[in-house]
Structure 1
Amino acid sequence: MKKIEIDTFLKFRFLSNPHFSPDGTKIAFTVSVPDRETNGYLSDLYLYDLGKKTVSRVTCAGDAKIWSWTAENTLIFTAARTAALKKEKENRTSFLYEISPSGGEAQCITSIPATVTGIRLLPNGRYLLTIRHDNYRDTRKKSYEVFDELPFWGNGQGYTNAKRNRYAIYDMGSGKLTYVADDWTDCSQYSVLGNLLLYKAYPWKQGVMGIRPGVYLYNLSTGETKTLIAPDSMRTGVVSLLDEKTALITATDDSYKDTTKYCDFYHMDLADGSMKLIHPYESSIGGSSVGSDSRFGAGQTFKAVGGEFYYISTVGDFSHLYKISRGGTVSGPLTAGSSCDSFDLAGGHIASMEFHGLHIAELFVDGEQVTHMNDWLTDEYDVQTPEAFSFTASDGYEIHGWVLKPAGFEEGKSYPGILNIHGGPRTVYSDVYYHEMQMWANRGYFVFFCNPRGSDGRGTDFGNINGIYGTVDYQNLMDFTDEVLKRYPMIDPEHLGVAGGSYGGFMTNWIIGHTDRFHAAASQRSISNWVSFEHNSDIGHTFILNNQGANTRTDVELLWKQSPLQFAPNCKTPTLFIHSDEDYRCYMAEGLAMFSAIKRNGCPAKLCLFHGENHELSRGGKPENRIDRMTEIIKWMDEYLK
């Protein structure tokens, strides 16, 4: 078997976003590939024909990232394929190309005077467009930025001041563009049924954006809008139209003032906005929280069909497709993999993109795998199978974890080990392929990872660490490390490393200030000081109160008490810091502060600051930067653990 190398991920084919054609005979989906030449990702459209049971490629220019079916069962997508069009695109003009599913040359059919970021087919030759709108477009200067609202930047979005996501109805025949809400309203989620558009939005201008958007009903025929839930009132999750009279809303009772409680299922009467609880729920709704660095692209994560609501949810350590009936009965899992990432439904068929253990996402139809673009990975390479186990931690909670043995493992031999900590904290590790950890195992390391308190999939009580970061979760991780060393005595306790990103970076920073048991650390996109984080993160002004139980105005002492920077003088562990200068989720100041603080101890430390990257460096960063990042980490671990 071949050895998994750092750059093996360049061969991956990332499948996402399946959608049935209007006639139900085909499924279009996106395939994205890392491209070293352009140092980016190329995305093209593929088709699965349900009758012929064949897979075919439709586009080949790598630019079909935003697309939709048409009513005539052709495909349209945004692109700019000539020098002249590319120049116009810079002036915020989007061009739509149409192509037949049977192939041929794509034709540019229209231009839209806006930056289109999403397309959805509507009745009567119309499309719902998601548009990125800049209210300061005509007054912006390249020499400086103006901030007059909060947040003023967004991870992966850059500077967002005065910029809004807007919904617009585009009539292909007339070229008429009709916006759903005013130019200062930020739209965040929608559901369409016939001539009804249900959507979430937050209207604001030059102020502070809240975390509780309103819910609105827009009539596509009349242009009338009805407010069903006012902004800043109830906390809502997904919204979906079940029929012309009823919507399904996931929400929490207004008595819950933080975000630790999971949303429950409600029915809403569209006539008056009244709501009825139909099913309490204790997990995430509308997406997979199973972590992996081996996916790229997004897709549909919930959909109403025939008055029933289908949704992806993480329950335990796995994410599946589920259904809740009109009467409030929740089905068992409708998919069988480790993580269902996106799906679509039509004609009684289910199309889903799923991770199945060590097999990265492929297209499944009614439970049968129909694409095999990544089978080569487990067929040709020395992929290590995670060994799962559970144990009762010192706080009485059951903790689920996994261990990867080193490639070529030999009994009686001693090996170094690396504890890896997930982000979130409301995400989960599972048994899916994780390239970074497989690469470590192929370099001769035991790799172990778990889901401590604060993780998703186990209910509000297990997932709530509001105000107690670095206490029960830290102890769970130390108990897990003890348990791993007991079960795997071939791991050398004098050669242990620890690594993690985001929340995992926070916890890595916390660990090196509280114990010397680890002999190397890699802290990535981390948090070191909750006091500063509140004011420099794109989500800081809301996240800090909802996750730390305080803010700088109410209890700065509590925030400092939970800050790893306070304990940096204790650190003796050689630590590598990885950060990106456009990471506005965990700003680079957090990594710089922790690096500076432990460097003053005389502790070996190094910081690698990646230019032009954001919080997604390890998962969606430029291919060369992803290679460099992994190279720096493995060099650091090798130096101090081997």
Structure 2
Amino acid sequence: MNLKRAITVDDLTNFEVYSDPQLAPNGDGYAFVSTTVNADKEYESQLFYQDMKDEKIRQWTFTKGRNSHPRFSPDGTSVVFQSDRSGIPQIWRLPLGGGEAKQITTFKNGATNPAWSKDGNYIIFTASLEKDDCIHNQEEQTKEARQKEQEENNKQPKIISRLAYKSDAGGFLDEKKSQLILYNIETQQFTPLTTADADHTYQDISPNGSVLFAANLQEEADYELTNDLYTVNIYTKELTKITKEKGIYYEASFSPSGEKIACFGNDLTYASATLTELYLFDLVSGERKCLSEEWDFELGDAMIGDTRIGASEAGPIWSKDEQSIYFLGTDHGATGLYSVSVSSKLETLYKNNNHVFGFSYDMEQESFVVGISSPTEPCNYYSFKRGDEIGKLTNANATFLTEVELIEPEEIQFKAEDGWDIQGWLLRPYGFEKGKKYPFVLEIHGGPHAMYGQTFFHEMQVLAAKGYVVLYTNPRGSHGYGQEFVNACRHDYGGKDYLDVMNAVDYALENFPFIDEERLGVTGGSYGGFMTNWIVGHSNRFKAAVTQRSISNWLSFYGVSDIGYFFNKWEHGHDLLDDPEKLWEISPLKYAKNVETPLLILHGEQDFRCPIEQAEQLFVTLKHLKKEVEFVRFPGANHELSRSGDPKLRMERLNHICRWFEKYIR
């Protein structure tokens, strides 16, 4: 008999999500961000601080809206952070000795991602500026003025001359670019550090005042998909390019002395399926070294979930003696904390079949605070020191976890038709009873170069709570299993990746007799939506399907997606004009006549990654053929709907998924 209730769609408003742990300079405590969905079904993020000695948690911010990105001053007396409490993200400073937070910036388009110089005299942040904007007379608009300006802009024609003219995150792009700005604490003056016609991303600052940033400053940046590292000195404004080899470099950090830089990156050898490498740049000798050359796993956090709101540190982070670098790694359905020496010796510091989603490192005490999620624990922070057991610091979502039954997944391993090893997980339904038969839902992840694994996933738990057996796997193309595996679906969409997910269903039916083979459902988003569309065009095995933010036609995808003009070439080996017949062969739309499975199509109207015309084509074609199909459009939603979209729409989306499966397979 179950003592706890089943989780619901509405429980999205009943748990909190932690992110961005930041240890104080003295190591006595750490700040972090907690995000919830409030009573108005809007996101709210607040800053908290936990003392490591008494373990008490103190709330620092209380304003409605989103407060995030806390960064301690070097002397630990204040914290700078970003907040949209005034209506748009701006930079604020909070004195820790007492007193209210003070607003530092009033930039028209907002200001984000603050950081301190090592001497504590300056704050560096990012602001979106047009070429001729003056940073000395920036005034923040009222909400009404912003709305009026937006309405006027929407009435004007858009003149487009760039290849990359829109993005899923930013919408239609204008002339504004992300620039780095320096704020002098004493004089309260702003100084531009970058002005090039490109977006600049802050990385780190050295002891001598060199700001490290990433940017694509190529003359034809839309055609050269690179991301180089540069430094600009805050005193001399001297600009230096660090990277010389073609590639994409990011998450870079200076060693404590400022003489070396560690960063993630890759040379695109396998296009978007290239494993992330860890590079070391010696600024004295000019040498570049790849520390991860002999490894075969993905660096950073490639875990997919639907509740990881807010950024967290994944590395690389230097040790005080500059002999080690710390980072997260993705491997076989889990992420862990790793260390590598400057001589490339790899060491696993912590990995325990769960999701380490972020960490902070204290150089003086050589200790860590790590954020961990598991399928039955949305998030918590733990203390960790090399060689010691981890110690639990927080008890997040305690009431929620006391009341709600979360299902622990059962890991499965099976052989694909060609002998490749495939990993997955199965959730039994809430209130499971032996001898009963249950309907089944197969979940297929997006990417395709990402990973399902041992993290909390609201959608999966809701489906299990509704009485479904839920299966999710990592078919070839997924991260976590090495370079050959992640590259294996390129130029073969709908091939062996399709067989992998179908073989997974075969395995589940053979080994879990409580699954009713007459009541099978399938769903997935993005690439998972493509695969859902592909499945219903090639098999009548499933009695219901839900395709989300999907791809149906690779021919049109080339010209409408914000990444289509290079993604087709990267993933399929063909552009539109190279081999349109090949792109049509792997387009699910071609096989619409074969579809007999009732299909629900869910799509955001502002999705620029997989634009809604992909859903429109599929719906109209199937409806014209008098197939069983329904189309739900989500206004204002982009490709991130299921993960960080409007909470009200996220909940509506889940309700529609449950409704469709209830109708056809319950």
- Tell me which interval the TM-score lies in, with the shorter structure as reference length: over 0.9
Deviations 1:85-132 (CA, angstroms, capped at 9, x unpaired): 65xx6xxxx654333446653344554565212111113311120222
Report the residue type matching 2:369 in the other structure. Answer: A
**1:153 pairs with 2:144:** no
Are the equivalent residues in 1 in contact too, given 2:78–2:93 (CA < 8 A)? yes
Are the equivalent residues in 1 in contact too, given 2:22–2:70 (CA < 8 A)? no
What is the match of residue 53 of structure 2? 51
**1:75 pairs with 2:79:** yes
Q: Tell me by how many angstroms 1:468 deviates.
A: 0.5
In structure 1, how many angstroms separate the alpha carbons of the residues matched to 2:598 and 2:231?
A: 55
Match for 2:258 among 244, 247, 251? Answer: 244
In structure 2, how many angstroms separate the alpha carbons of the residues matched to 1:247 and 1:451?
A: 34
Deviations 1:298-318 (CA, angstroms, capped at 9, x unpaired): 122112233222111111111
Report the residue type matching 1:338 in the other structure. Answer: N
Q: Tell me by how many angstroms 1:162 deviates.
A: 2.5
What is the match of residue 526 of structure 2? 502
Are the equivalent residues in 1 in contact too, given 2:548–2:603 (CA < 8 A)? yes
Deviations 1:328-368 (CA, angstroms, capped at 9, x unpaired): 11111435461111211013120121103410111222122
**1:339 pairs with 2:352:** no
Report the residue type matching 1:285 in the other structure. Answer: L
What is the match of residue 564 of structure 1? 588
In structure 2, how many angstroms separate the alpha carbons of the residues matched to 1:249 and 1:525?
A: 32
The alpha-carbon distance between structure 1 residues 418 and 119, as it changes in their structure 2 partners (threshold 3 A), is: same
Are the equivalent residues in 1 in contact too, given 2:203–2:213 (CA < 8 A)? yes
What is the match of residue 146 of structure 2? none
1:159-558 aligned at under 5 Å gives the runs 159-188=172-201, 190-194=203-207, 195-203=209-217, 208=222, 210-230=224-244, 233-242=246-255, 243-252=257-266, 256=269, 258-271=271-284, 273-280=286-293, 281-286=295-300, 288-302=301-315, 303-306=317-320, 307=322, 308-336=324-352, 338-346=354-362, 347=364, 348-366=366-384, 367-464=390-487, 465-558=489-582
The alpha-carbon distance between structure 1 residues 585 and 412, as it changes in their structure 2 partners (threshold 3 A), is: same
Match for 1:127 among 110, 123, 129? Answer: 123
Are the equivalent residues in 1 in contact too, given 2:538–2:594 (CA < 8 A)? yes
Name the SS of the counterpart of 1:629 in structure 2: helix
In structure 1, how many angstroms separate the alpha carbons of the residues matched to 2:84 and 2:274?
A: 44
Name the SS of the counterpart of 1:500 in structure 2: strand
Report the residue type matching 2:325 in the other structure. Answer: F
In structure 2, how many angstroms separate the alpha carbons of the residues matched to 1:61 and 1:252?
A: 41
In structure 1, how many angstroms separate the alpha carbons of the residues matched to 2:434 and 2:169?
A: 46
Report the more deviating stretch, 63-72 or 582-591.
63-72
In structure 2, how many angstroms separate the alpha carbons of the residues matched to 1:189 and 1:397?
A: 41
Deviations 1:229-264 (CA, angstroms, capped at 9, x unpaired): 259x2343543323433222444458x262323133
Report the residue type matching 1:30 in the other structure. Answer: V
In structure 2, how many angstroms separate the alpha carbons of the residues matched to 1:361 and 1:184?
A: 40
Q: Tell me by how many angstroms 1:292 deviates.
A: 1.4
In structure 1, how many angstroms separate the alpha carbons of the residues matched to 2:417 and 2:348?
A: 32
Report the residue type matching 2:125 in the other structure. Answer: L
In structure 1, how many angstroms separate the alpha carbons of the residues matched to 2:238 and 2:481?
A: 42
Q: Tell me by how many angstroms 1:608 deviates.
A: 0.6
Report the residue type matching 2:127 in the other structure. Answer: I
Identical amino acids, percent of aligned pairs: 28
The alpha-carbon distance between structure 1 residues 476 and 382, as it changes in their structure 2 partners (threshold 3 A), is: same
In structure 2, how many angstroms separate the alpha carbons of the residues matched to 1:189 and 1:468?
A: 37
The alpha-carbon distance between structure 1 residues 103 and 565, as it changes in their structure 2 partners (threshold 3 A), is: farther
Are the equivalent residues in 2 in contact too, given 1:70–1:76 (CA < 8 A)? yes
Q: Tell me by how many angstroms 1:279 deviates.
A: 3.0
Report the more deviating stretch, 485-494 or 207-216.
207-216
The alpha-carbon distance between structure 1 residues 251 and 630, as it changes in their structure 2 partners (threshold 3 A), is: closer
Name the SS of the counterpart of 2:498 in structure 1: helix
**1:118 pairs with 2:113:** yes
TM-score by length of 2: 0.89
Q: Tell me by how many angstroms 1:578 deviates.
A: 0.6
Q: Tell me by how many angstroms 1:189 deviates.
A: 5.2
Name the SS of the counterpart of 2:433 in structure 1: coil
Report the residue type matching 1:219 in the other structure. Answer: N
In structure 2, how many angstroms separate the alpha carbons of the residues matched to 1:400 and 1:178?
A: 52
What is the match of residue 387 of structure 2? none
Return 5+ residue gaps in structure 2 as ranges: 135-148, 385-389
Are the equivalent residues in 1 in contact too, given 2:229–2:250 (CA < 8 A)? no
Report the residue type matching 1:352 in the other structure. Answer: V
The alpha-carbon distance between structure 1 residues 249 and 123, as it changes in their structure 2 partners (threshold 3 A), is: closer
The alpha-carbon distance between structure 1 residues 277 and 533, as it changes in their structure 2 partners (threshold 3 A), is: same
The alpha-carbon distance between structure 1 residues 131 and 283, as it changes in their structure 2 partners (threshold 3 A), is: farther
The alpha-carbon distance between structure 1 residues 509 and 428, as it changes in their structure 2 partners (threshold 3 A), is: same
In structure 2, how many angstroms separate the alpha carbons of the residues matched to 1:270 and 1:574?
A: 60
**1:21 pairs with 2:19:** no
In structure 1, how many angstroms separate the alpha carbons of the residues matched to 2:612 and 2:57?
A: 44
The alpha-carbon distance between structure 1 residues 623 and 258, as it changes in their structure 2 partners (threshold 3 A), is: closer
The alpha-carbon distance between structure 1 residues 641 and 262, as it changes in their structure 2 partners (threshold 3 A), is: same
Name the SS of the counterpart of 1:267 in structure 2: strand
Q: Tell me by how many angstroms 1:27 deviates.
A: 0.4
Name the SS of the counterpart of 1:332 in structure 2: strand
In structure 2, how many angstroms separate the alpha carbons of the residues matched to 1:466 and 1:544?
A: 10
The alpha-carbon distance between structure 1 residues 173 and 384, as it changes in their structure 2 partners (threshold 3 A), is: same
Name the SS of the counterpart of 2:6 in structure 1: coil
The alpha-carbon distance between structure 1 residues 413 and 148, as it changes in their structure 2 partners (threshold 3 A), is: same
Deviations 1:109-160 (CA, angstroms, capped at 9, x unpaired): 5545652121111133111202222449899944133322132111122222
Match for 1:31 among 11, 34, 42? Answer: 34
Are the equivalent residues in 1 in contact too, given 2:204–2:254 (CA < 8 A)? yes
Report the residue type matching 2:318 in the other structure. Answer: A
In structure 1, how many angstroms separate the alpha carbons of the residues matched to 2:455 and 2:433?
A: 24
In structure 2, how many angstroms separate the alpha carbons of the residues matched to 1:218 and 1:107?
A: 28
Deviations 1:542-565 (CA, angstroms, capped at 9, x unpaired): 222111111113222222222111
Name the SS of the counterpart of 2:382 in structure 1: strand
The alpha-carbon distance between structure 1 residues 351 and 635, as it changes in their structure 2 partners (threshold 3 A), is: same
Are the equivalent residues in 2 in contact too, given 1:301–1:343 (CA < 8 A)? yes
1:615-630 aligned at under 5 Å gives the runs 615-630=639-654
